[in-house]
Structure 1
Amino acid sequence: MYIYNVTTNIEDSAHEQWLSWMQNTHIPEMLATGKFTKAKMCRVMVEEQMGGTTYSVQYTTDSKETLKKYYTEDAPAMRQNGLKLFADKMVAFRTELEIIGEF
């Protein structure tokens, strides 16, 4: 199992709009690709020097191959949707995590 993690800092001026979009549009669209089995959204408990609020959204997938399919088939459009709405109001980075065990 793998986790595709997207960490985003969103400016205060767009926070409520972004949070609503994430919960009601973006995360459901990510799950609708069929490449992720669940998503978990967390607020990162840190005070950023740049301001804003930071979130981590973790999408669980079954394999590296499925994640690669997401990158080629879905990622460009999904990323573009967010950039259209919040390009100058957010900073995001992505990481891949391999689940070794759950205890």
Structure 2
Amino acid sequence: MLLYNVTLILEDSAAEEWLQWMQEVHIPEVMATGMFVSNRLLKVIDSPNEGVTYCAQYVAESLENYNHYQTTYAPALQEDLNARFKNRFVAYRTLMEFVG
């Protein structure tokens, strides 16, 4: 099992709009790809960064599912994010493996 983590640092002025869009549009679209078995959305409480920091996490059963998501679905989904919130966020993406 793999955890795909997307950490986003948003300008304060974009945070509320982004959160609503994530919950109502983006996360359902990601999950509709069928490449992930679960997800969660977290708000970082003690972030050292300015703005508001969130982590969107998605669990994939296999590297093949993750890779298929990255090649087939991610470019369009990330472009939608970039178009809607251009210059109002920074994103960091990491892939982690469950070990215990």
> 5+ residue gaps in structure 2?
none
Matched to 2:29, the amino acid is E
C-alpha separation between the residues in 2 aligned to 1:81 and 1:46? 28
| Structure 1 residue 48 displacement after superposition | 3.4
Query: In the alignment, what sits opposite 1:14?
Result: 14
Query: In the alignment, what sits opposite 2:74?
Result: 75
Query: In the alignment, what sits opposite 2:85?
Result: 86
| Structure 1 residue 91 displacement after superposition | 0.4
Over the residues paired in the alignment, what is the CA RMSD in angstroms? 0.9
C-alpha separation between the residues in 2 aligned to 1:73 and 1:91? 23
TM-score (ref. length: structure 2) = 0.95
C-alpha separation between the residues in 1 aligned to 2:54 and 2:46? 10
TM-score (ref. length: structure 1) = 0.93
Aligned residues: 100
Query: In the alignment, what sits opposite 1:48?
Result: 48
Matched to 1:9, the amino acid is I
